Amino acid sequence: MREPLAKHDGVLSAVRAYESEDLLLAARTGAPNFVSAVYGTKLWGLPIPRAFHSLVGILPEYRDAFIANLGNKKDALGVVE
């Protein structure tokens, strides 16, 4: 995947293959000791699919501090469970 077109195609394939809900379910199943959420599921506040989903896993004891430190960016964080 050294060519720009191949990189672009790889990104689009990942977007088509996995929705954020699928990635979140896999994370919660594979790492049940963490609370997890998807960050940045919307593009510019619109429900447009993003090319990359940021999956966040947090130890439960750090959940509240993590959310508090996001400041005004916490609106981009999905439900942390």
Which pLDDT tens digit goes with each residue over 33-61? 999 998 876 667 676 666 667 888 999 99
Q: Tell me, yes or no, whether 10 lies in a domain.
A: no
pTM summary value: 0.65
Compute the residue count for the chain: 81
Residue 68 sits at the vertex; the CA angle it makes with 64 and 74, to the nearest 5 degrees, is: 105
Per-residue pLDDT at 58: 93
Chain-wide mean pLDDT for the chain? 79
Helix (H, G, I), strand (E, B) or coil at 42: coil
d(CA 56, CA 61): 14
d(CA 20, CA 54): 9
**Structural domain harbouring 44:** 19-76
76 has pLDDT over 90: no
Q: Tell me, yes or no, whether 51 lies in a domain.
A: yes
Q: What is the number of structural domains in the chain?
A: 1
